[in-house]
Amino acid sequence: SSAVLCNSMSLIEWNISKRYLKELEDKGVPIIPTLWADELHEPHFAAAFAKFNCDEIVIKPYVSANADGTYRLTPAAVSKQLPSIMQEYKQRSAMIQPFLTSILEQGEYSLFYFNSQYSHAICKQPAKGDFRVQEEHGGQLTSIQPSNAMFALAEQTIDALPEEALYARVDIVSLNAELMIIEVE
């Protein structure tokens, strides 16, 4: 089987692991505060609640699609689900982030770029009772006009990519009224 790549293979490989977010952060792009666990261990959970000073965290694998392996957890849920989570992450690296209520309240904003030029934007909102914005999980998509702050962050992110992308989607969320990157695809 074959595939036609519109972006270079090196850019696609760079983008496969969410570890690329750390590289963007090192270049000054604001990302959601993240605890990186190349190997997940039980103390990581308590460390995350303490570091982020929050009541809920999200854990997700470095490499995934459609929110597979993604959990939204309270301290009580961690205790209850710990054996199954540790089993699932036995051979996987994990990123732990504070859960952002803004995703439930406002959604996640996606700005689309072709040849580094802005094309259009959408807001992705989760289905009632869920936190995942993907359509596979009932998420709703709406066309939006981005704010100047969203444009500025998206442009900063596009400029920080390791090479020019023919196609890029920049996903933005709000934390305490501050815009940050949740993902770039």
The pLDDT tens digits of the residues spanning 5-20 come to 788 999 999 999 999 9
| 3-state SS, residue 149 | helix
Q: What is the mean pLDDT of the chain?
A: 92
pLDDT band for 74, please (50, 70, 90 cuts). very high
Judged against a pLDDT cut of 90, whether residue 140 lies above it is answered with no
Percentage above 90 pLDDT, the chain: 76
Judged against a pLDDT cut of 80, whether residue 164 lies above it is answered with yes
The predicted model gives 101-109 an average pLDDT of 89
Q: For position 5, what pLDDT does the model report? A: 73
Ranges of H-type helices in the chain: 9-16, 20-26, 43-52, 75-88, 101-105, 148-160
Q: Is 51 exposed, middle or buried (0-12, 13-18, 19+ CB in 10 A)?
A: middle
Q: For position 135, what pLDDT does the model report? A: 66
pLDDT band for 80, please (50, 70, 90 cuts). very high
Q: Locate tokens 């929050």: which residue? A: 54
Judged against a pLDDT cut of 80, whether residue 133 lies above it is answered with no
The predicted model gives 90-119 an average pLDDT of 93
Percentage above 70 pLDDT, the chain: 96
